[in-house]
Structure 1
Amino acid sequence: MHTHTLAPLDTAMDVVRDERSEVAAERDAFAALADRIADCPARSPPMAPDHDAGTTVKGVGVSSVGSAVDVDPSERLRRAYRETVMRVDHYDAVYDESLFENAATELGADLATALRGGVPFSPAFKSKLHDAVTDARAERERFLERLRTEMESLTAARETLGDVVDTVPRDGSAPSPRIDELRRRCDDVARERQEVLRAQFRSAPDGLYEYLYRDQSWTYPVLNVVATLVADLDGLRRIDDAEGFG
């Protein structure tokens, strides 16, 4: 057997490693943005006359009545967004979106519209914006936990299946009992991987593997390698059995 059989596992580990780096950077960026928002002083909007309640931005619960004290902090917020969320190294390569497009996805369309300007930075608006940014950070934290689980699963499978590959001589010669033992080890890895897949699906059936391995010819790297090794081991078993009858 040859080590290139394990290539899907090595590739998958590289993919997960890169994804973890990017997601961690985004988590830290949203944490920094939350700090920037927390440092911005809020100002309660003036009361509008009864005959003119002003306009209300949907979802933020603040009134914009055009008073002289309504200092628009939108540029400060946009600058903070650019200097945190949009400053991660992979932003252009992965997202390639304008500030408002990205904010609409991450924070919601109402808050993204409010960032264009004209909405006073009231305590209610500040709280809603801060909560949305904190939720975006927490989402990355949860995804990092799922990636950690995936890396642990890949690493354990790589170790066991690597031993299987190293145990069989390059010429494929191995007695049937030894082949059967190696096949059982492959089956054990497959069962353990299936348990991981089921647990991941139960926690969030969102196509994690289709997303992570979208650029590969396979979606389930561990099962792909197990299938290849089992086919090879079964072939060696048949050869050994045939020679035993020869």
Structure 2
Amino acid sequence: MHAHTLAPLDTAMDVVHDERSEVTAERDAFAALADRIAACPAQSPPTAPRHDTGATVTGVGVSSVGSASDGDPSERLRRAYRETVMSVDHYDAVYGESLFENAATELGADLATALRGGVPFSPAFKSKLHETVMDARAERKWFLERLRTETASLTDARETLGDIVDTIPRNGSTPSQTVDELWRRCDDVGRERQDVLRTQFRSAPDGLYEHLYRDQSWTYPVLNVVAMLVADLDGLRRIDDSREFGR
């Protein structure tokens, strides 16, 4: 048995590390977008002009936010979206979508359409947009917790299974008690991993592992390695049994 048996675990840890980096960047990007939205002054509801004073009423029937100097609010929001959500390093590689395609997925079709223009930046619209962006941030935060759980599970399994690989004698003669003990340790790792999987599935049966390990030949790295080690240990048992029988 060799260290390459553990390769699925090392690959999985790299995959999860990269995923955590991307999701963290997206979480921070949506937080930044929420801040940009919060900083935009909403357009006050129209009020009746006061002819008796000759005062000019601003913010009525115009598309600017707060004042004419603010420019088109829709363009301001689109620029904020590009400079936050669409500016993460992995955006093109992972998403490769137009602003409106991505906004429709993340914020919903109605808000994505509103970003095209023609919708006054009213307090109600601002509140809804900010709330939806914060929901997108919360989804990333929640997903990061699941990825942290996966990282901890992989790390623990890698340590124990690595020790098992290092413990197996290489001289062709393995005491049966050693094989039995190693087999039990593998079984314990498998059981612990099954507990983690059940917890993750209860949290959200959304194909987490199919998503994370979609480019691999396996979906459950820990169970894959456990199965390989158990098969090898069973083979050593058969060798020992045959030697014992041949004496």
Alignment TM-score > 0.5, same fold: yes
The superposition leaves residues 202-245 of structure 1 with CA deviations (integer Å, 9 ceiling, x where unpaired) of 01000000000000000000000000000000000111111122
The superposition leaves residues 80-107 of structure 1 with CA deviations (integer Å, 9 ceiling, x where unpaired) of 0000000000000000000000000000
1: CA distance, partners of 2:7 / 2:173: 23
Q: Which residue of 1 aligns with 2:229?
A: 229
Q: 1:32, 1:84 within 8 Å by CA — same for their partners in 2?
A: yes
Name the amino acid aligned to 2:44: S
Mapping 1:26-41, distance limit 5 Å = 26-41=26-41
Q: 2:104, 2:111 within 8 Å by CA — same for their partners in 1?
A: yes
Mapping 1:13-24, distance limit 5 Å = 13-24=13-24
Q: What count of residue pairs does the alignment treat as equivalent?
A: 229
Q: 2:47, 2:60 within 8 Å by CA — same for their partners in 1?
A: no
Q: Secondary structure at the match of 2:206?
A: coil
2: CA distance, partners of 1:100 / 1:69: 23
The Cα RMSD (Å) is: 1.4
**TM-score of the pair, normalised by structure 2:** 0.90
Q: Which residue of 2 aligns with 1:111?
A: 111
Mapping 1:188-199, distance limit 5 Å = 188-199=188-199
Q: 1:45, 1:120 within 8 Å by CA — same for their partners in 2?
A: no
**TM-score of the pair, normalised by structure 1:** 0.90
Q: Which residue of 2 aligns with 1:162?
A: 162
Q: 1:40 to 1:239 in 2, by over 3 A?
A: same
- Does structure 1 residue 182 correspond to structure 2 residue 182? yes
% of aligned pairs identical?
84
Q: Which residue of 2 aligns with 1:147?
A: 147
Q: 1:102 to 1:172 in 2, by over 3 A?
A: farther
Name the amino acid aligned to 1:6: L
Is the deviation greater in 37-46 or in 165-174?
165-174
Q: 1:45, 1:70 within 8 Å by CA — same for their partners in 2?
A: no
Q: Which residue of 1 aligns with 2:51?
A: none
Which is higher, the Rg of structure 1 or of structure 2?
2
Question: Displaced runs of 4+ in structure 1, greater than 2 A?
Answer: 66-70, 169-173
Q: 2:37, 2:126 within 8 Å by CA — same for their partners in 1?
A: yes
Q: Which residue of 2 aligns with 1:73?
A: 73
The superposition leaves residues 155-201 of structure 1 with CA deviations (integer Å, 9 ceiling, x where unpaired) of 00000000010001234431000000000000000000000000000
Q: 2:46, 2:61 within 8 Å by CA — same for their partners in 1?
A: no
Unmatched runs of 5 consecutive residues or more in structure 2:
49-58, 65-71
Q: 1:172 to 1:197 in 2, by over 3 A?
A: farther
Q: Which residue of 2 aligns with 1:87?
A: 87
Q: Which residue of 1 aligns with 2:25?
A: 25
2: CA distance, partners of 1:5 / 1:197: 21
Is the deviation greater in 37-46 or in 127-136?
37-46
1: CA distance, partners of 2:12 / 2:189: 16
The superposition leaves residues 13-45 of structure 1 with CA deviations (integer Å, 9 ceiling, x where unpaired) of 000000000000000000000000000001123
The superposition leaves residues 50-82 of structure 1 with CA deviations (integer Å, 9 ceiling, x where unpaired) of xxxxxxxxxxxxxxxx95433240011000000
Name the amino acid aligned to 1:116: R
- Does structure 1 residue 204 correspond to structure 2 residue 165? no
Q: Which residue of 2 aligns with 1:241?
A: 241
- Does structure 1 residue 10 correspond to structure 2 residue 10? yes
Name the amino acid aligned to 2:239: I
1: CA distance, partners of 2:83 / 2:20: 21
